[in-house]
Structure 1
């Protein structure tokens, strides 16, 4: 990596860290990365609906939330023409370098933040060094600010190299809600890629450690459930009501009793419920947000089907109705060992990397699997790698942070891996 790029890494990451935006609301973040891409100079840059079909998006937030973040971006000086392109929550971008004959290589990084208020306590580096989130309600608590930095710096390093081929960098929105992987995977930019690299920071792997290819990410789905009953006076005539909260309670007990599956592990959770009006009113309405995961896509489908069935059956038992909507989902996809081996061999020569794991189980879920499946179905190879970082607390916590030494490690590893497959293949 050229020294001028290396010298900008920390400043770029901290700039991105100051203004995290939630899924499908990454207006300023997209504008910031577009600014960098245009400075680098690429052969093609597609923003929002130019990069994917908006109809393929999942987990789109309410219009009022999108509009709120849209106006915030305008107040922060985002160009009106660019905002118009992203209107309706069509964020993210794809950047393309065409450099003659050679393989088509993809790199996927995610760009969204989380609804977590970042710690301002002494000892939290972003607070101490004044690059803490400025929004008051969102945070880059999973390292996506580092991911965007890697994507931009790798793009620049490849642009300044003797790379021969086609490089496609996906700056993907809405990973945290599993909403952006599907449209990126369905887009023409993901067609006929020979290789795809996806990457994450940390995940309990320390600074200096690299996982060349994760295995066994859990397929998952997010499900929204609406239960409708009939209200009544809880003291005078409770028999006249159909209690949506009672139906919900029955459903929750039933959901956690879904039988295990012989072909792999499952996970279910009801993570949020809301409903009812008062202690003396039979509740006529309740909402729930739930999820199902599975060791394989097929096992996840089993858990999802059972989860929805149990909500519907519990509602019917109590004289209510239930509507379940799958807001988003993602399949399982395993890293190809041949491409992971390229990463492992490259990592051995990266300054600062002292431990290389050929593979590791992921144990969570990721919608980069949509892109991995697309590439693999087209005959290409894909790997999802992890660049370790010392993070003081777990991902998705108010005091999460990354060791900025891992910024160098990630760019060097991604750049050299891309050059390796372009020159020699796996």
Structure 2
């Protein structure tokens, strides 16, 4: 298999790139797959990302990995950092490719290395490139924190919730600190927004949350009451219908505060990831893959409040039967923590599980034909 999985992961981890800048990562993946002479290696002029194909004919089974890292402070230094495990996802899919490239396949396997999952719009860009138009099945994967799965455990579906990121701006005029009655303090308006959001109540049986994750106001002069502020909201809901209700509530709060203070509040949705509606047939195939490799490691599908733009493939192309492998790997302290670590021993087994599932999906497609 050339480089070992650990060597591949080490390179990807040490050369992380943020969303829409994964060009060197793209080049590295091309280098990894080229010696196997796949039928197709496709890159794009206007964005990073790679699509690789082996085999031929129907069915067409996809395997997707996300490529981007986060920009965060690590050890006092701001840098690209794979604290969400996308380096492990790419390593897994490269491993599946190398394992299947040497087999006679009853159909086509399409490996999709997708940029910008963290921005919530990478999958949509790949859909626009046509990579899902003729897919029958699609398998993804994600490392899971130890709060969800123990090390060495695998689940055949991740039931993600919906996520939405809203950027906002509050616009009034600055005023002198000695004359607060002459203006509106944008920081206080933001505080009012937080208060009203926290006083909004939705069905407690459905996991959900709304929180302000950014707030920028004021400058170098503490005697100026800032009239402008910029903020961001992170919304999570386990069901798409609840996300709609929460979004409407945020809009109502903004309009009410706008009227109360006679100011302008603008809201803009930066990204919106829909809640998962997983496919039972694809999940059953992945379940069979887990049991074929290690039946004792199999766990039931897990529900998580996290989001993933993977689900846009099925929302935009409803014919695609998709699911995601949940990989238990002793991940801690948590996803997106700058010091996140995980047990790499889970990756070779994830490669075997996904390879089994892909071959079972190819066989299933052949039986239908």
Q: What's the TM-score, normalizing by structure 1?
A: 0.79
Match of 1:214 among 158, 167, 170: 158
Written as runs of structure 1 = structure 2, the 5 A alignment for 1:301-320 is 301-320=244-263
**SS in structure 1 of the partner of residue 224 of structure 2:** coil
CA contact (8 A) 1:255 1:311 kept: no
Per the TM alignment, residue 192 of structure 1 is displaced from its structure 2 partner at its CA by: 2.8
Match of 1:349 among 282, 292, 297: 292
Written as runs of structure 1 = structure 2, the 5 A alignment for 1:8-407 is 8-47=4-43, 50=44, 85-86=45-46, 90-97=47-54, 99-118=55-74, 137-204=79-146, 205-215=149-159, 217-235=160-178, 237-261=179-203, 264-277=206-219, 278-350=221-293, 354-375=296-317, 377-378=318-319, 380-407=320-347
For residues 262 and 142 of structure 1, the distance between their equivalents in structure 2, rounded to whole angstroms, comes to 28
Structure 1 pair 25–100 and aligned structure 2 pair: CA distance change class (3 A): closer
Runs of 4 or more, structure 1, over 4 Å off, are none
CA contact (8 A) 2:71 2:78 kept: no
Per the TM alignment, residue 105 of structure 1 is displaced from its structure 2 partner at its CA by: 0.7
Per the TM alignment, residue 16 of structure 1 is displaced from its structure 2 partner at its CA by: 0.5
For residues 285 and 136 of structure 1, the distance between their equivalents in structure 2, rounded to whole angstroms, comes to 27
CA contact (8 A) 2:42 2:51 kept: yes
The worse-fitting range, judged by mean Cα deviation, of 155-164 and 217-226 is 155-164
For residues 187 and 258 of structure 1, the distance between their equivalents in structure 2, rounded to whole angstroms, comes to 40
Question: What is the Cα-based RMSD across aligned positions, in Å?
Answer: 2.2
Q: Deviations over 1:173-199 (max 9, x none)?
A: 121232312222343111131111011
CA contact (8 A) 1:172 1:184 kept: yes
For residues 373 and 203 of structure 1, the distance between their equivalents in structure 2, rounded to whole angstroms, comes to 26
CA contact (8 A) 1:292 1:307 kept: no
Per the TM alignment, residue 271 of structure 1 is displaced from its structure 2 partner at its CA by: 0.7
CA contact (8 A) 2:209 2:235 kept: yes
The worse-fitting range, judged by mean Cα deviation, of 312-321 and 104-113 is 312-321
Structure 2: gaps spanning 5 or more residues: none
Structure 1 pair 161–119 and aligned structure 2 pair: CA distance change class (3 A): farther
For residues 26 and 169 of structure 1, the distance between their equivalents in structure 2, rounded to whole angstroms, comes to 17
Structure 1 pair 23–14 and aligned structure 2 pair: CA distance change class (3 A): same
Q: Deviations over 1:37-92 (max 9, x none)?
A: 32333222232xx3xxxxxxxxxxxxxxxxxxxxxxxxxxxxxxxxxx35xxx222
Per the TM alignment, residue 389 of structure 1 is displaced from its structure 2 partner at its CA by: 0.9
Equivalenced residues, count = 363
For residues 336 and 276 of structure 1, the distance between their equivalents in structure 2, rounded to whole angstroms, comes to 49
Q: What's the TM-score, normalizing by structure 2?
A: 0.91
For residues 265 and 406 of structure 1, the distance between their equivalents in structure 2, rounded to whole angstroms, comes to 29
Q: Which has the higher strand share?
A: 2
Per the TM alignment, residue 214 of structure 1 is displaced from its structure 2 partner at its CA by: 2.0
Match of 1:408 among 344, 348, 353: 348
CA contact (8 A) 1:248 1:311 kept: no
Structure 1 pair 185–262 and aligned structure 2 pair: CA distance change class (3 A): farther
**SS in structure 1 of the partner of residue 16 of structure 2:** coil
CA contact (8 A) 2:145 2:332 kept: no
Matched with 1:80 is: none
